[in-house]
């Protein structure tokens, strides 16, 4: 991976898997119901989500999706490049396949079945070739569905790039997070991303602490040392060619769009 000179660092905003899911969940609903950004305004869409009687527990996810969509459109309009990680593509396909298996298991007619977490072998036995095809298509359709509303998200460099794997391994030697989040964070670091859009509370807390150790009361010194180690890793992996104070990515949770808000 060629290093990025200081004068060529661009404004990159990363979108994690959950935030992307919320955005696409909302866009599917908005297209069906004729809401912003397909028609009308953001405030009208927020009011429609608030007042709908049939959303049940989907309401919060759709509201977060509206907020994420608005945030991404604004970020791109402000000149930021939007990206997501190949790890998110894998999570997308995995969750789609797992969902197919769970739906089939729930529709079984075994009376009184207790639903412990499904094992991989049972999910495998429940999936069809059509499920696999649909999972692949769902991943490939993500950029196109976003382009439909003038949002352009590109993928980072391939995970075959050893630097990202090495960075992820290095991150896990500095701070605890899931394997998936380590790869997402490493990918964001590799692009010198300005921010990561996420709804994962723990991940956001860690990302904020690494960016600004003073945000974690009682752990300031610990996270200042972690921050320094990660900044050093970026120079050791030739991702940056300068050793000045490098600001690590911020964690951003888009603010909820309210019925009275202007665009």
Encoded tokens for 182: 């380590």
- Three state DSSP letters for 34-78: CCCCCCCCHHHHHHHHHHCCCCCCHHHHHHHHHHHHHHHHHHHHC
**Structure confidence at residue 134 (pLDDT):** 94
**Structure confidence at residue 6 (pLDDT):** 43
Q: What is the pTM of this model?
A: 0.84
Angle at the Cα of 71 (from 183 to 198), degrees rounded to 5? 30
Give the length of the chain. 263
**Structure confidence at residue 168 (pLDDT):** 93
DSSP 130-172: HHHHHHHHHHHHHHHHHHTTT--EEE-S-TTSHHHHHHHHHHH
CATH architecture designation of domain 6-252: 3-Layer(aba) Sandwich (3.40)
Contact yes or no for 252/196 (Cβ under 8 A) = yes
Rounded Cα gap, residues 196 and 143, in angstroms: 18
DSSP helix/strand/coil, 12 = strand
Element holding 209 (H helix, E strand) = helix 201-211
Cα 108 to Cα 101, 113, 129, 132, distances in angstroms: 11, 9, 19, 20
**Structure confidence at residue 234 (pLDDT):** 87
Rounded Cα gap, residues 183 and 165, in angstroms: 7
Q: What is the pLDDT along the chain (263 residues), one digit of tens a residue?
A: 444 444 444 589 999 999 999 999 999 999 999 999 999 999 999 999 999 988 878 899 999 999 999 999 999 999 999 999 888 988 999 999 999 988 888 887 566 666 677 788 989 999 999 999 999 999 999 999 999 999 999 987 655 577 788 899 999 999 999 999 999 999 999 888 999 999 999 999 999 999 999 999 999 999 999 999 999 998 887 776 655 567 899 999 998 887 766 55
Sequence-distant (6+) residues with CB within 8 A of 208 are 215, 216, 250, 251
Q: Which residue in the block uniquely carries the two structure tokens 């752990």?
A: 219
């Amino acid at each position: 991976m060629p290093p990025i000179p200081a004068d060529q660092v661009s404004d990159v905003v990363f979108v994690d898997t959950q935030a992307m899911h919320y955005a696409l969940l909302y866009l599917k609903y908005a297209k069906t119901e004729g809401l912003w950004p397909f028609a009308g305004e953001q405030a009208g869409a927020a009011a429609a989500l608030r007042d709908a009687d049939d959303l049940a527990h989907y309401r919060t996810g759709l509201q977060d999706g509206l907020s994420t969509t608005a945030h991404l459109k604004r970020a791109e309009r402000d000149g930021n490049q939007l990206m997501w990680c190949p790890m998110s593509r894998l999570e997308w396909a995995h969750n789609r396949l797992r969902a197919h298996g769970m739906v089939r298991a729930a529709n079984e007619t075994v009376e009184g079945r207790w639903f412990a977490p499904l094992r991989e072998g049972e999910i495998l036995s429940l999936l069809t070739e059509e499920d696999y095809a649909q999972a692949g298509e769902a991943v490939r359709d993500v950029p196109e569905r976003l382009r439909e509303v003038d949002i352009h998200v590109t993928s980072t460099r391939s995970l075959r790039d050893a630097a990202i794997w090495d960075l992820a391994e290095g991150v896990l030697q500095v701070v605890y997070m899931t394997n998936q989040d380590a790869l997402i964070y490493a990918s964001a670091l590799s692009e010198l991303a300005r921010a990561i859009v996420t709804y994962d509370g723990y991940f956001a807390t860690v990302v904020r602490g690494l960016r600004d150790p003073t945000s974690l009361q009682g752990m300031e010194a610990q996270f200042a040392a972690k921050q320094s180690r990660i900044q050093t890793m970026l120079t050791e992996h030739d991702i940056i060619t300068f050793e000045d104070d490098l600001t690590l990515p911020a964690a951003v949770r888009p603010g909820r769009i309210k019925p009275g808000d202007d665009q």
